[in-house]
Amino acid sequence: MNIQIQKLTAEGGIDAESEGHYRDITGIENTSGPHTHDFFEFFVIIEGSAYHCINGKRELLNEGALVFMRPQDVHYYEQLPGTDCRLINLSFYEKTLLDLLAYLGPGFPKESFLSAAFPIVIQLSQQEKRLLQHRMEKLYRIPQHEKQWYRAELRALLAEVYSHYLMHSVIPGVSQKPAWFLDLCKEMKKPEHFIEGVPAMIRLSGKSHAHLCRMFKEWEHETPLQYLNRIKLQYAENLLLHSDWSILDISLEAGYGNLGHFYKSFKKLFGRTPQAHRKMHHTKLTPLV
């Protein structure tokens, strides 16, 4: 049986001056059937669960799922037996997002996001879901005739959401590393985790220490401790170059209880002492104050 796929257009559903359209959808029956479109959109499941049929795949979305759709995606929703879901959808002109991605520059993995087989899905915590919901709801409080205000709020929201939620969830290029390993490395870049060290690795991954050692040797060519030390020192370097903190405060913030060990480790990685590294880079900068 051939499934009829509807083509939704920005011109037909999004005000050109506002550049975006917000919808609070209270049930699957109020969504479109199989469709594609010529605009971008993202949506978040506010309550309940549903099946999302996307590019030939059927996946279960639960409360808090945030999904970033592209124009080429073909999708629709199916209701779970005995339940329904509420979702908030924000659609916007293709040019609006492409302008944002161009502004973000090469550091944003634009091609990986646009060319992936399936859209990115991020599971938000309850607090993240509430914050994003409240942020999105600001749009429908704007009077209809205030189109420039709406457009400014829309662009600000897109910059926040794409840089905060999506940017660090897109893996540039094709990676053979296991998904759990990529997630672990992402989490270990947070200070509260790299300061805790290997116990945090074990807790977050659910893997044994021996297994982690094998995986880090295979994928990063270093031990878990060497990886953690590198992450800590890179964090310390950022503080060194972008703050006026003392060397002692930076070493403590990066998780080094021994200042001598910090000096030795820093020089081994960067080839100079923290003071020399800071001085070398600061001579290249024009004072801002």
CA angle 199, 205, 209 (to 5 degrees): 50
Report which of residues 109 and 15 the model is more confident about: 15
Of 139, 166, 193, which closes a domain? 166
- 288 within some domain: no
Q: For residues 36 and 233, give the distance between their C-alpha atoms in angstroms, rounded to a whole number.
A: 46
Q: Kindly report the pTM of this predicted structure.
A: 0.67
DSSP the chain: -PPP-EEE-HHHHS-TTT-EEEEEE-SGGGS-SSEEESSEEEEEEEEE-EEEEETTEEEEE-TTEEEEE-TT--EEEEPPTT--EEEEEEEE-HHHHHHHHHHH-TTS-HHHHHHSSS-EEEE--HHHHHHHHHHHHTGGGS-TT-HHHHHHHHHHHHHHHIIIIITTTS-SS---S-HHHHHHHHHHTSHHHHHH-HHHHHHHH---HHHHHHHHHHHTSS-HHHHHHHHHHHHHHHHHHH----HHHHHHHTT-S-HHHHHHHHHHHHSS-HHHHHHHHHTTSPP--
Question: Tell me, what CATH number does 201's domain have?
Answer: 1.10.10.60
At residue 2, the pLDDT reads 58
65 and 137 in a common domain? yes
Across 122-146, average pLDDT:
92
Q: For residues 243 and 229, give the distance between their C-alpha atoms in angstroms, rounded to a whole number.
A: 21
160 and 183 in a common domain? no
Question: Tell me, what CATH number does 27's domain have?
Answer: 2.60.120.280
What's CA 108's distance to the chain center, in Å?
A: 10
- 212 within some domain: yes
**40-48 and 50-54 strand pairing:** unpaired
Confirm if 38 and 64 have CB atoms less than 8 A apart: no
For 166-191, the pLDDT digits (tens) are 887 775 554 578 889 988 998 999 99
Report which of residues 273 and 289 the model is more confident about: 273
Confirm if 51 and 22 have CB atoms less than 8 A apart: no
User: How many folded domains does the chain comprise?
Assistant: 2
Q: For residues 45 and 228, give the distance between their C-alpha atoms in angstroms, rounded to a whole number.
A: 35
Confidence band (pLDDT; 50, 70, 90) for 158?
A: very high
Mean pLDDT of the chain: 90
- 1 within some domain: no
157 and 257 in a common domain? no
DSSP 20-73: EEEEEE-SGGGS-SSEEESSEEEEEEEEE-EEEEETTEEEEE-TTEEEEE-TT-
234 and 209 in a common domain? yes
Of 166, 190, 211, which closes a domain? 166
> Does residue 118 have a pLDDT over 70?
yes
183 and 245 in a common domain? yes
> Does residue 286 have a pLDDT over 50?
no
The range of the structural domain enclosing residue 34 comes to: 6-166
* Closest among 187, 186, 219, 212 to 198, alpha carbons compared: 212
> Does residue 131 have a pLDDT over 60?
yes
For 25-55, the pLDDT digits (tens) are 999 999 988 999 999 999 999 999 999 999 9
